[in-house]
Amino acid sequence: MDYRTEIAVRIAVATGLDAETTNGLIEVPPQKELGDYAFPCFALSKTLRKAPAFIASELAADPGLGASWIEKVESVGPYLNFFLDRGHVASTVLTAILESGIHYGDGDEGKGKTVIVEFSSPNIAKPFHVGHAFTTVLGNSLSRIYSKLGYRVVRMNHLGDYGTQFGKLITAYRLWGDEQALRSAPIKELLRIYVKFHEAEKDDPSLGITARENFRRLEEGCPDERALWEKFRDMSLKEFSAVYEKMGVSFDNYNGESFYGDRIPEVVKLLNEKGILTESEGAQVVMLDEYGLPPCIIIKSDGTTIYASRDLAAAMYRYDTYGFYKNIYVVGLPQALHFKQVFAVLEKAGLPYAGDCVHVGFGLVKFKNMKFSTREGNIVVLDELLDESISKTREIIKSNALIRDTGMSDEGIEEVALKVGIGAVIYTYLRAGRERDIVFSWEEMLDFEGDSAPYLIYTYARTRSILRKASERGITDIEISKTDFLLLTSDDETGVVKLLAEIPDAVSRAAATNEPFMVARLAAQIARAFNRFYNNSAILSGTDIALRNARLALCEATCAGILICTDLLGIEVVEQM
Ligand code: ARG
């Protein structure tokens, strides 16, 4: 139960405002003497034509605002202050979490609905850079969030495996390709000949003509060109798969651009039937003036297809195959115009699902005081960012006296370095609104006390170790489950409980806005609140057995809460560190 939302609903009923508005107005008072939640009545004074303070005092007396879990409602000036019954809240929330474990917050809003999450979508023969990592991390998290809410999720990787650049690659490979090099480091070799092609083309423009010819042959299905293309694709995919495995990411299919190549005639046919395909300078386009957008090119003047036409074919295929409820594209903001055009064409063609296609954009990736040894061209490759993060984490762990004292084995250290190092990168991508630019800095992302994955994972591991110690002393789960939650009423305990109660709502809101940061932020708040409780209270050493058990139950519930959130973010925790 989310108390804030429940209170918002009650205020809405009592005042005639809608619940979303009242929810937005609810504040958390700065001092505990003012209650757990406060509702300022200023906004009501216009419509009700009464002074805010008068409205507050009237509402305080309204029995409709009461509930078994509300201890009291008080008015102080223009504010209406709500005091929760702390024991009641602790009991409801902790029972729910301990009963459902990792399934706490599972929802059924998605029952019977399919959501397509298209993400990652790197380009064949190009390095997997930190921008592709952004969509990979975001898409993976969104997939998990939708699944938790009961949606059937189809994870699609729309590989950039088609287009005129393959004509260039085929041409370049025939001229300068090194089979051996291709085998040992495919993307590096493909990039080398691609760069070389562009340099050579400056002096010899006929190369461009050959490349276009080769792409046309590829589109027509000529076996030699097709075989080379397949080789480039397979080898690149092998390299990408290694990255996905490292990050714990998987896909239901890799239907890339090429997959839709032979579906373009259907698109052309439909657009013609609707009478919206027109000719412009030899190309076939759909005019989008009424949307205030530039024309969308469907077929180029040389008869070949283009990125947008393949996207139109893809949207149609996805609807025909999956009957999606939502079709999500996790792609950087620079492609916003492209998606506006594609969605506008779908709408103009009268396809009813045009409005269910959503571009989920994200910002740029930047670095603060970070050097990378092997920049390929001007970009940072994800693999290197991950490796650096893992090795820096390993150093930190090895140099930390506290951690050393637990007597961890080398393998143990390795596992922690791997999970924490990768988690640190993932968390940096997800901790703020996705449209904001991201700045990576080692100090922040590996700060074990900061807003970071190491902090979350460390909090989890330490809490687990308290529970391990408890069980070593013979305190069993059964004993914990018989606990009296009504004893958990201190500010620190209530602080943790109230945040745990917010999990279900945070997951729904993250899905509604496609913003995993809502889950990330809550996880950080839970960890922060738990550490405050941990620092201020005796847990295992307490002499009051009932209180000790209740506090252990709070530890158990906190572990479940952190685990639910990190799992939704795609971050793995460790049991010990
Ligand atoms: N491969 C493209 C790129 O790296 C992203 C593909 C986005 N998805 C799509 N359906 N157009 O820029």
- Give the per-residue pLDDT at 465: 93
Pocket test for ligand 1, best of 328, 331, 333, 340 (most atoms within 8 A of CB): 331
Given a contact cutoff of 8 angstroms between Cβ atoms, the answer to whether 488 and 551 are in contact is yes
Question: Cβ distance 461 to 402 under 8 Å?
Answer: no
Residue 375: what pLDDT? 47
Q: What is the mean pLDDT of residues 127-144?
A: 96
User: Which run of H or of E encompasses 389?
Assistant: helix 382-399
CB 305 within 8 A of CB 261: yes
Give residue 322 CA to ligand 1 midpoint distance, Å. 20
Q: Could you tell me the pLDDT band of residue 476, with boundaries at 50, 70 and 90?
A: confident
Decide whether any atom of ligand 1 lies within 6 Å of the 311 Cβ. Answer: yes
Return the bridge partners of 70, or none.
84
Q: What per-residue confidence (pLDDT) applies to 113? A: 98
What spacing in Å lies between the alpha carbon of 397 and ligand 1's midpoint? 38
The yes-or-no verdict on residue 26 having pLDDT over 50 is yes
Cβ partners under 8 Å of residue 269, min gap 6: none
Q: How confident is the model at residue 230 (pLDDT cuts 50, 70, 90)?
A: very high
The pick from 318, 329, 335 for probing ligand 1's pocket by mutation, whose C-beta has the most ligand atoms within 8 angstroms, reads: 335
Of the pLDDT bands very low, low, confident and very high (cuts 50, 70, 90), residue 482 is confident
pLDDT at 404 over 70: no
Is a pLDDT exceeding 70 seen at residue 100? yes
**One-letter amino acid identity for 319?**
Y
Annotation says 129 is catalytic: yes
Question: Does residue 374 have a pLDDT over 60?
Answer: no
3-class secondary-structure state, position 516: coil
Q: What is the mean pLDDT of residues 136-144?
A: 98
- DSSP assignment of 464-488 equals HHHHHHHHHTT--HHHHHT--GGG-
126 is a catalytic site residue? yes
Q: Side chain identity at 556, as an amino acid letter?
A: E
Helix axes 410-430, 223-247, angle to 10 degrees: 110
258 within ligand 1 shell (Cβ under 6 A): no
How much is the pTM? 0.92
- Which H or E element spans position 76? strand 70-76
pLDDT digit string, tens, across residues 145-171: 999 999 999 999 999 999 888 999 999
Query: Residue 310: CB within 6 Å of ligand 1?
Result: no
Of 139-148, 346-355, 449-458, 472-481, the range with the lowest mean pLDDT is 472-481
317-357 residue pLDDT tens: 999 999 999 999 999 999 999 999 999 999 999 999 999 99
Q: What confidence tens digit (pLDDT) does each residue in 489-526 have?
A: 999 999 999 999 999 999 999 999 999 999 999 999 99
Is the pLDDT reported for residue 481 higher than 70?
no
| Ligand 1 pocket mutation, candidates 121, 124, 338, criterion most atoms within 8 A of CB | 121
Q: Is the pLDDT of residue 379 over 90?
A: no
- Cβ atoms of 83 and 74 within 8 Å: the answer is yes
Q: Which two tokens stand for residue 535?
A: 């620092």
- State yes or no: pLDDT of 418 exceeds 60: yes
CA of 357 to the centre of ligand 1 (A): 15
CATH topology (fold) of 392-569: Isoleucyl-tRNA Synthetase; Domain 1 (1.10.730)
- Are 232 and 179 a contacting pair, CB within 8 Å? no
Q: What are 184-203's pLDDT values in tens digits?
A: 999 999 999 999 999 999 99
Q: Name the residue with the closest Cα to ligand 1, atom 11.
A: 311
Residue range 392-396: mean pLDDT, rounded:
94
In our burial notation (b when 16+ CB lie closer than 10 A, e otherwise), range 166-189 reads bbbbbbbbeeebeeeebeeebbeb
Q: State phi, psi for 516 to the nearest 5 degrees.
A: -60, -15
Q: Is 360 helix (H, G, I), strand (E, B) or coil?
A: strand
Give the pLDDT confidence score for residue 242 in this predicted structure: 94
Q: Which is the catalytic residue, given 72, 126, 188, 469?
A: 126
Stretch 552-564: mean pLDDT: 97
Q: Are 493 and 533 in contact (CB under 8 A)?
A: yes
Contacts of residue 241, defined as CB under 8 A and 6 or more positions apart, other chains included, come to: none
Q: Look at residue 377 and tell me whether its pLDDT is greater than 60.
A: no
pLDDT the model gives residue 143:
98
Name the band, by pLDDT with cuts 50, 70 and 90, for residue 535. very high
3-84 maps to CATH 3.30.1360.70: yes
Pairing label, strands 326-330, 357-360 = parallel
Q: Let me know if 359 is a catalytic residue.
A: no
CB atoms within 10 A of CB 33: 9
Residue span(s) of the chain under CATH 3.30.1360.70 come to: 3-84
For 129, the 3-state DSSP assignment is strand
Instruction: Write down the catalytic residue from 32, 50, 72, 129.
Output: 129
Please state which of the ranges 262-271, 301-310, 501-510 shows the lowest mean pLDDT: 301-310
Cα 257 to ligand 1 centre (Å): 9
Q: Which of 364, 305, 371, 361 is nearest to 338 (CA)?
A: 361
Please identify which residue in the block is written with the tokens 């297809």: 305
Q: 66 phi and psi, to 5 degrees? A: -85, 160
